[in-house]
Amino acid sequence: MSGMAINEGSMSPSRGTRKRSDKDTSSAPRAARGVAKWVIPSLYSPCRVGIGNDLHRLADGRKLILGGVRIPFDKGPVGHSDSDVLAHAICDALLGAARLGDIGRHFPNTSPQWKNSSSLLFLRHVRELLEAAGYRIVNIDATVGLERPKLAPYILPMERKVAAALALKPDQVSVKAKSGEGLDAVGRGEAIRADAVALIQICS
């Protein structure tokens, strides 16, 4: 993308490149126009990508918390902390992008410190780790796999809570939901799963 921008600006019309119209005054690459302003000044800094996922068994009487949002349901994930699979997958994606290990290394499930703790604390701590290592978060995309209940009413609140925990703008976080189509442990209503991808950038 950056190479495209340099060529557009430096090649002369006599070499056959398209001449910009009077209205076409942006110095940003065409694909970047319309992208939120927070991205454009840093388009040329090196980026790193990371992936994360999490899977927990569902059990009766457990709280269902996703992205820090409490969702009314008669089952919830079993685990040491609040077992927020969305937050955990995002933590692993961010840690992986920065090559800072994984969530188990930073928040071991044998530590009483994290017993029943909110996973929003994990997100905040991971943000601090990335900042200390010289990275900023560009965006996060995540998908939650859950057979029931439907998560559509909670998507926006989840995006906002995750963004707030990571000191991001809401449009830097995308959360989606999928059912298991009656297949595998998610589809049978026995488990909840989340997958996440994170893009981070070296602070210039």
Which 36-75 residues touch Mg ion, going by CB under 5 A? 54
CB closer to Mg ion, 26 vs 111: 111
Considering only CA atoms, which of 122, 137, 136 is closest in space to residue 65? 122
SS (H, E, C) the chain: CHHHHHHHHHCCHHHCCCCCCCCCCCCCCHHHCCCCCCCHHHCCCCEEEEEEEEEEEEEECCCCEECCEECCCCEEECCCCCCCHHHHHHHHHHHHHCCCCCHHHHCCCCCHHHCCCCHHHHHHHHHHHHHHCCEEEEEEEEEEECCCCCCHHHHHHHHHHHHHHCCCCHHHEEEEEECCCCCHHHHCCCEEEEEEEEEEEECC
Q: Which is nearer to Mg ion, 168 or 196 (CB)?
A: 196
Nearer to Mg ion, 54 or 195 (CB): 54
Nearer to Mg ion, 85 or 177 (CB): 85
Stretch that binds Mg ion, among 36-44, 87-95, 171-179, 192-200 (CB under 5 A): 87-95
CB of 56 to Mg ion, least distance (A): 6
**Residue 55 CB, nearest distance to Mg ion (Å)?**
8
| Packed helices 85-97 and 155-165: angle between N→C axes, nearest 10 degrees | 40
Positions 99 through 138 that interact with Mg ion (CB under 5 A)? none
CB 177 within 8 A of CB 151: yes
Of residues 71 and 138, the one with the C-beta less far from Mg ion: 71
Query: Judged by CB under 5 A, which of 88, 160, 161, 193 binds Mg ion?
Result: 88
Residues contacting Mg ion: total by CB under 5 A: 2
Q: Segment near Mg ion (CB under 5 A), from 10-18, 88-96, 159-167, 182-190?
A: 88-96
Question: What are the residues facing 191 on neighbouring strands?
Answer: 57
Stretch that binds Mg ion, among 8-16, 84-92, 106-114, 180-188 (CB under 5 A): 84-92
Question: Closest approach of Cβ 119 to Mg ion, in Å?
Answer: 8
Report the residue number whose CB is nearest to Mg ion.
88
State which residue, 103 or 130, has the beta carbon closest to Mg ion: 103
Interface residues toward Mg ion, by CB under 5 A = 54, 88
